[in-house]
Amino acid sequence: MTQPRRETRGVRDAGGLQPGPHVAGHRIQRDEAQHALVIDQTLIACTPTEYQVLALLLEQANQCVPYAQFLTLMQETQLTEAAQIKQARIRLMHLMSDLRAKIWPLGLDIVAVMNTGYLLLSSRAEVQSASPAGRVQTREASEEQRESRHMQA
């Protein structure tokens, strides 16, 4: 457990930590030079390719990102043969599996969209609402309150 703290401090000391993309329910910072993301105060150390792919998913959270965009990030040359494309998709599948393992504990998941691409979802998409206690409520709770008010009217 001491190693992530030391790494996180190293990222901060380098002065490269910048605000990351907005994903509801999460605070994200990134350091492109070190291929690192800090999500909800947890350091996610990545390979250069993992960093590019995860950054793309976070920037387009809740939107399907086509395979072609990922393959462009991962390849230096244009893929022309079916066998090359198949191998690249297999590498992408393994990379996504590795990324899932890193972000799952933080309430984020990567979902494969059949024959299309991948989608990043957040299980902690919470909406701030004005409740009597001033606390954060989930969308479901807010909708239930609206429905009960509508039924009372």
pLDDT tens figures, 40-59: 999 999 999 999 999 999 99
Largest Cα separation within the chain, whole Å, is 64
128 falls within a domain: no
57 falls within a domain: yes
Q: Encode pLDDT of 96-113 as tens digits.
A: 999 999 999 999 999 999
Q: So what's the pLDDT on residue 106?
A: 95
97 falls within a domain: yes
* CATH code of 117's domain: 1.10.10.10
Share of the chain above pLDDT 70, in %: 70
136 falls within a domain: no
Q: So what's the pLDDT on residue 94?
A: 97
148 falls within a domain: no
How far apart, in whole angstroms, are the C-alpha atoms of residue 48 and residue 46? 6
How far apart, in whole angstroms, are the C-alpha atoms of residue 99 and residue 50? 7
Cβ proximity of 129 and 137 under 8 Å: yes
Number of domains in the chain: 1
107 falls within a domain: yes
Mean pLDDT, rounded, for 111-139 = 65
146 falls within a domain: no
> What domain range includes position 42?
2-122
